[in-house]
């Protein structure tokens, strides 16, 4: 498909997202999305999954109605991580998938994102094609009505699949998992039960969910929930997921946060040591710390930068042949094991890597030596496409010259009404100074 330069109207960095039961997340709009997706996909077998939000069942009913009105068969997995839907699409040889989730956002939000027959997220152009079908809003093209099949067993199949990757000798005692009261609440217990963790002191926290507490004071958005537990209970390691469990962040035994950059540093060296296919390259986003680039270069591994979003990481991996990619936020894709960001899989691979590399996890942060970074978020009072980024970038050029060994990166968020300002340099004082000045000067563009 030719690259379409038009801006998407409804789809952002990670699907369509809005306040539940408002804007673009009403049952009426979900029905239209479901119908448009089947018109685009031309398939008849679709897996649908969701996180624990109260609005999930409402939107699932509407989305499935749109799909079945076009003659599709819907396989409802219930509460399952985004990568679990990806796994199920391939397991069932389905034509695509849909995930109802707003990921790290609070419970009052929800979203819908689509997967292709390969279990991977759609490209920008493919989402534009769905939008074109959405706006046409023509009559149903199918005379038959499809069926809905309940498949609550898919989450267990997925978790057992992930457990099969974990080497027995990589399992350690005193590990805790923070499920963010989200989609991993059902899969983590199955992972633990079907691995060496079952025989050790393993804790699972924030797994209770009521539809309103997803990401609330827990998970990757509130790492203090995990780090405080690790320190209080003298745990050796902790893993926290986001609402749909496609991201993971880690706590070391000191309660310090190991982010996606350090995870990529560990996994990159591990895959390179194993001579895995594509292990000479790692795809990262523009947000990754410059220290990661330096460390990987020392190992003979090339770093490739791309825009923010795990879909762009995957595109870069495919174009370059890189076997590993990810984001600082904890979206990690190891193509030998998964085709999308997968928090549970990343946790398991990290443990395998630590064992094979004989890593001391408690010193990883000290040895990584990241460059000071400051991320400032300015609230947008206008649609992101109306922000004059040319004028913004002219101001950025003026201050980039002050950072001879650093960088400035500015973008509008694809999931929230924010202008993000990232400043990075070896000197913290300079980072703070430039960040504060830029934030003040760029307010007028918001």
The alpha helices in 236-301, defined as continuous H runs, are: 260-273, 290-298
Q: Answer with the residue of higher pLDDT: 415 or 365.
A: 365
Per-residue pLDDT band at 210 (split at 50, 70, 90): very high
Give the three-class secondary structure for 215: coil
Q: What is the model's pLDDT at position 297?
A: 95
Q: Which residues is 160 bridged to in the sheet?
A: none
- Determine the Cα–Cα distance for residues 347 and 280; give it in Å rounded to an integer: 22
User: Could you tell me the CA-to-CA distances from 113 to 21, 134, 246, 267, 356 in Å, in that order?
Assistant: 17, 15, 13, 27, 36
Stated length of the chain? 446
| Spatial CB neighbours of 87, under 8 Å, sequence gap ≥ 6 | 119, 154, 157, 158, 161, 338
Q: Taking residues 432-442, what's their average pLDDT?
A: 91
% of the chain at pLDDT higher than 90: 79
Residue 135 has pLDDT above 90, yes or no: no
Q: What are the tens digits of pLDDT across the range 12-60? A: 878 999 999 999 999 999 999 999 999 999 889 999 999 999 999 999 9
* Percent residues over pLDDT 70 in the chain: 97
Mean per-residue pLDDT, 168-175: 95
pLDDT of residue 413: 85
- For position 61, what pLDDT does the model report? 98
Cβ atoms of residues 227 and 252 within 8 Å: no
Catalytic residues: 103
Contact 54, 211 (CB under 8 A): yes
Name the residue among 59, 1, 56, 57 with its Cα closest to residue 34: 59
pLDDT tens sequence across 315-371: 999 999 999 999 999 999 999 999 899 999 999 999 999 999 999 999 999 999 999
How does the average pLDDT of the chain come out, rounded?
93
Tokens coding 82: 């985004």
Q: Are 81 and 343 in contact (CB under 8 A)?
A: yes
Cα 366 to the chain's mean position, in Å?
26
> Against a cut of 0.75, is the pTM above it?
yes
> Is pLDDT above 50 for 261?
yes
Tell how strand 96-100 and strand 202-205 pair up: unpaired
Report pLDDT for 137: 60
Nearest to 288 by CA among 251, 247, 322, 325: 325
Q: Which residues, at least 6 apart from 392, have a Cβ–Cβ distance to it below 8 Å?
A: 410, 419, 442, 445
> What mean pLDDT do residues 69-78 have?
96
Q: Is the pLDDT of residue 446 over 90?
A: no
Q: Using the predicted structure, report yes or no on whether residue 383 has a pLDDT greater than 90.
A: no
Backbone angles phi, psi at 325, to 5 degrees: -160, 165
- pLDDT tens per residue, range 78-101: 999 999 999 999 999 999 999 999
| Residues 388/384/244/208 CA torsion (nearest 10 deg) | 120
The residue with greater pLDDT, 242 or 286, is 242
* Contact of 30 with 112, CB cutoff 8 Å: yes
> Could you tell me if 378 and 439 are in contact, meaning their C-beta atoms sit under 8 angstroms apart?
yes
List the one residue out of 51, 161, 157 whose CA is nearest residue 110: 51
pLDDT above 80 (res 242): yes
3-state secondary structure (DSSP) of residue 28: helix
Average pLDDT over residues 114-138: 89
User: What integer pLDDT is reported at residue 342 of this predicted model?
Assistant: 97
Strand partners of residue 252: none
Whether 142 shows a pLDDT value over 70: the answer reads no
Confidence band for 1, pLDDT divided at 50, 70 and 90 = very low
DSSP symbol at 356: H
Q: Compute the distance between CA of residue 127 and CA of residue 383 in angstroms, rounded to an integer.
A: 19
Give the pair of three-digit tokens for residue 22.
């408002």
pLDDT number for residue 139: 65
Ordered by where they begin, the domains of the chain are 11-152 (3.40.120.10), 154-370 (3.40.120.10), 373-445 (3.30.310.50)
- ∠ CA 330-326-320 to the nearest 5 degrees? 175
Judge whether residue 5 has pLDDT over 80.
no
What is the dihedral angle through the alpha carbons of 13, 14, 15, 18, rounded to the nearest 10 degrees?
A: -90
Among 27, 32, 34, 29, residue whose Cα is nearest residue 48: 34
Q: Which of 421, 424, 437 minimizes the C-alpha distance to 376?
A: 421
Band of pLDDT at residue 385, cut at 50, 70 and 90: confident
Lowest mean pLDDT, pick from 128-142, 329-343, 373-387: 128-142
268's CB contacts (< 8 A; 6+ apart) are 279, 282, 296, 299, 301, 324
Strand partners, 248: 241
Measured at the alpha carbon of residue 288, what is the angle toward residues 283 and 294, in degrees to the nearest 5?
Answer: 80
Q: Residue 252 corresponds to which tokens in the numbers above? A: 């070391």
Backbone angles phi, psi at 305, to 5 degrees: -100, 145
Q: Would you state the pLDDT for residue 3?
A: 57
């Amino acid at each position: 498909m030719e690259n379409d330069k038009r801006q998407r109207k409804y789809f952002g960095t990670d699907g369509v997202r809005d306040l539940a039961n408002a804007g673009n997340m009403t049952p009426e709009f979900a029905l239209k999305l479901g119908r448009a997706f089947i018109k685009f996909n031309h398939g008849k077998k679709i897996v649908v999954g969701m996180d624990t939000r109260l609005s999930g069942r409402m939107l699932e009913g509407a989305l499935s109605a749109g799909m079945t009105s076009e003659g599709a068969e819907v396989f409802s997995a219930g509460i399952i991580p985004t990568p679990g839907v990806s796994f199920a699409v391939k397991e069932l040889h389905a034509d695509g998938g849909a995930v109802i989730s707003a990921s790290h956002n609070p419970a009052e939000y929800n979203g819908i994102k689509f997967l292709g027959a390969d279990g991977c997220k759609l490209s920008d152009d493919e989402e534009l094609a769905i939008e074109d079908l959405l706006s046409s809003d023509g009559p149903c093209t199918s005379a038959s009505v499809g069926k809905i099949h309940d498949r609550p067993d898919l989450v267990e199949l997925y978790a057992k699949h992930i457990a099969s990757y974990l080497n027995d000798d990589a399992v350690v005692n005193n590990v805790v998992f923070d499920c963010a009261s989200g989609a991993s609440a059902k899969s983590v217990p199955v992972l633990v039960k079907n691995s060496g963790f079952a025989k050790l002191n393993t804790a699972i926290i924030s797994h209770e969910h009521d539809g309103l507490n997803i990401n609330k004071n827990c998970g990757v958005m509130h790492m203090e929930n995990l780090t405080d537990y690790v320190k209080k209970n003298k745990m050796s390691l902790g893993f926290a997921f986001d609402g749909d469990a496609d991201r993971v962040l880690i706590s070391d035994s000191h309660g310090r946060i190991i982010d996606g950059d350090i995870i990529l540093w560990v996994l990159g060296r591990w895959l390179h040591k194993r001579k895995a296919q594509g292990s000479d390259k790692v795809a990262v986003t523009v947000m990754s710390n410059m220290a990661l680039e330096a460390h990987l270069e020392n190992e003979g591994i090339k770093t490739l930068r791309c825009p923010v979003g795990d879909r762009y990481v995957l595109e870069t991996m495919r174009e370059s042949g890189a076997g590993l990619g990810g984001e600082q936020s904890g979206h990690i894709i190891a193509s030998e094991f998964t085709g999308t960001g997968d928090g549970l899989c990343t946790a398991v691979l990290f443990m395998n890597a630590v064992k094979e590399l004989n890593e001391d996890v408690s010193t990883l942060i000290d040895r990584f030596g990241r460059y000071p970074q400051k991320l400032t978020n300015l609230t947008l009072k206008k649609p992101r496409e109306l922000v004059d980024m040319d004028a913004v970038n002219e101001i950025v050029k003026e201050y980039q010259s002050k950072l001879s060994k650093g960088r400035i990166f500015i973008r509008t968020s694809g999931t929230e009404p924010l202008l993000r300002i990232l400043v990075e340099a070896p000197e913290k004082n300079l980072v703070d100074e430039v960040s504060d000045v830029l934030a003040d000067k760029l307010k007028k563009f918001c």
